[in-house]
Amino acid sequence: MMEKFDAITVSKCNKKTAPMKKKCKFGMASTIPSGHVWKDTWNPVSCSLAPIEMKECLRGKFIHLMGDSTIRQWIEYFKSSIKTLKSVDLHESGKFQKQFAVDLDKNIKIQWQKHSYYPLVVSLTYSVKEIEYIARVIDRTGGGKSTIIVISLGQHFRPFPINVFLRRALSIHDAVQRLLLRSPDTVVIIKAENIREMHSDVERFSDFHGYIQYLAIKDIFQDLNVSIIDAWDITIAYGTNNVHPSQSVVRNQINILLNFIC
């Protein structure tokens, strides 16, 4: 600070209230950056997230969660939050077996299944008997206004050439395009990648590779009537540095989903 300086005048804060933002809805374009975290809550720049009662929002809906373990966290969150959801044994084996949960009273059905094993980089055993590509699953889906499909793709593709990821993403894009042609009222949402820890195998799994894929997935799906949950910005804002972030981060990601469909 200078030794001598003129008087400093402190003005009052501008007390004008900020304009109310519209509620976040399916199809709204996000900004860059897309939001910030305050008091453990994600706040988008372009819209506001309303509190949604999860169980009522999901009444009569079939939620298909497809992808890696970061989207498997969602079905685990749903099962812990909705006590009436009951898991159904599909007689598969291994850590990455398909999960299916139902609430017969509210007619809620939620299913998670992993993307195909090329590539699926894991340290645990899993069965390849029931495995199939996401594009094939989408082609077998009838769709409709009660069907919500959420796709998460990326973490397992980081160690491989980018063309492997691009070919898979384009294949899924074409399957989604076919789905929306036969059932245009189907809700399709892309969950972007999370950032991850940097203490192991950085050259192959670092966020450098993930960021390229994050940009690519947004570009590939921009021509379709889908919405993107920007998990990349959310996990950056939280500073998670963990491929499997805490429950509070998952809760905020799912809150965006609920605002999109209800």
- Whether the per-residue pLDDT at 122 is higher than 70: the answer is no
Is residue 150 included in any domain, yes or no?
A: yes
Q: What span, in angstroms and rounded, lies between the C-alpha atoms of 235 and 207? A: 12
CB atoms within 10 A of CB 92: 16
Judge contact between 242 and 193, C-beta under 8 A. no
Question: In this structure, what token pair is assigned to residue 142?
Answer: 């009838």
Q: Give yes or no for residue 95 having a pLDDT over 80.
A: no
| Rounded Cα gap, residues 259 and 53, in angstroms | 10
Q: Give 28's DSSP letter.
A: P
Does the bond joining 33 to the residue before it have cis omega, within 30 degrees of 0? yes
pTM, rounded to two decimals: 0.87
Q: Which residue has the tokens 């789905």?
A: 179
The answer to whether residue 16 sits within a structural domain is: no
> What CATH number is associated with residue 83?
3.40.50.1110
Residue 100 maps to a domain: yes
Q: Is residue 23 part of a domain?
A: no
First vs last C-alpha separation in the chain: 54
Cis peptide preceding 184, ω within 30 of 0: no
What's the whole-number average pLDDT of the chain? 87
- Residues 202-235: pLDDT tens digits? 787 788 888 999 999 999 999 999 999 999 999 9
Give how far Cα 229 sits from Cα of 85, 117, 224, Å: 24, 24, 15
pLDDT value for 7:
82
Residues 104/67, Cβ–Cβ less than 8 Å: no
Greatest mean pLDDT among 5-9, 151-155, 220-224? 220-224
Q: Which helix (H) or strand (E) holds 139?
A: helix 134-139
How confident is the model at residue 125, as a pLDDT?
A: 67
Among 255, 239, 251, 254, smallest CA distance to 195 is for: 239
* Residue 24 within any structural domain of the chain: no
Q: What is the DSSP pairing of strand 35-38 with strand 227-229?
A: unpaired
- For the segment 242-254, the average pLDDT, to the nearest whole number, is 90
pLDDT band at 123 (very low <50, low <70, confident <90, very high): low
What interhelical angle do 162-182 and 207-220 show, nearest 10? 30
d(CA 234, CA 250) in angstroms, rounded, equals 10
Domain with 210, as residue range(s), is 39-261
Cα–Cα distance, 96 to 106 (Å, whole number): 27
Structurally, how many domains does the chain consist of? Answer: 1
Residue 206 to residues 73, 96, 160, 217: CA-CA distances in angstroms?
21, 23, 12, 17
Q: Is residue 94 part of a domain?
A: yes
Alpha helix ranges (H) inside 140-246: 162-182, 202-205, 207-220, 231-238
Q: What is the mean pLDDT of residues 142-170?
A: 90
Whether 7 maps to a domain, the answer reads: no
pLDDT of 117 over the 80 cut: no
Nearest CA to 75 out of 32, 30, 108 is that of 108
Answer whether residue 151 is part of any domain: yes
DSSP readout, 158-186? Answer: TTS-HHHHHHHHHHHHHHHHHHHHH-TT-
